Amino acid sequence: MSQRSDYENKTEELILPILDRMGFELVDVEYVKEGQDFYLRAYIDKPGGITINDCVDVSREMNELLDQYDYISDPYIFEVSSPGLGRPLKKDKDLERSIGQDVDIHTYKAIDKQKEFTGMLKSYDKDSIVIEIDGNDITFNRSDISLIRLAFDF
């Protein structure tokens, strides 16, 4: 496992009991470098949406654990936030919750001269995702998908 994965896994292990107690869901954890800075981010959600106060409460408790366990060697910035409207659907539980909703799919390579598709999520399994576009089912190999997220209109 990579150092990044180790940091993300340890963070998930520490934050889950906090979120369970508060009735929140962990959507994702990421450890990334942006410019000169490293960021450790936890994306959380709950029915009705996450508020800034929810993020502050989780951050306050988690910062104590991060200081206590001190498992990340580089200086970093810890952030807790809502995943937002256009959040990626990364886990099977995200896909399950989104069955029947419109999703955007971006592929690594063009399929019939396009790389972006929007349709209703019908089903998924470990290898593929099926969406309905204009009454037709289209199956995508998961390995061909660079991004899948909920579609939203402005």
pLDDT tens digits, residue range 8-55?
999 999 999 999 999 999 988 999 999 999 999 999 999 888 999 999
Indicate the pTM of the whole model. Answer: 0.72
Number of domains in the chain: 2
Q: At 148, list the tokens.
A: 């899948």
Q: Using one digit for the tens of pLDDT, what is the confidence trace for 46-68?
A: 988 899 999 999 999 999 999 99
Q: Where is the domain boundary, 81, 113, 142?
A: 81
Q: Where is the domain boundary, 81, 105, 126?
A: 81
Separation between Cα atoms, residue 11 and residue 3, nearest integer Å: 12
> What's 102's domain CATH number?
2.30.30.180
Q: Are 40 and 71 in contact (CB under 8 A)?
A: no
- Provide the residue range defining the domain that includes 66: 3-81
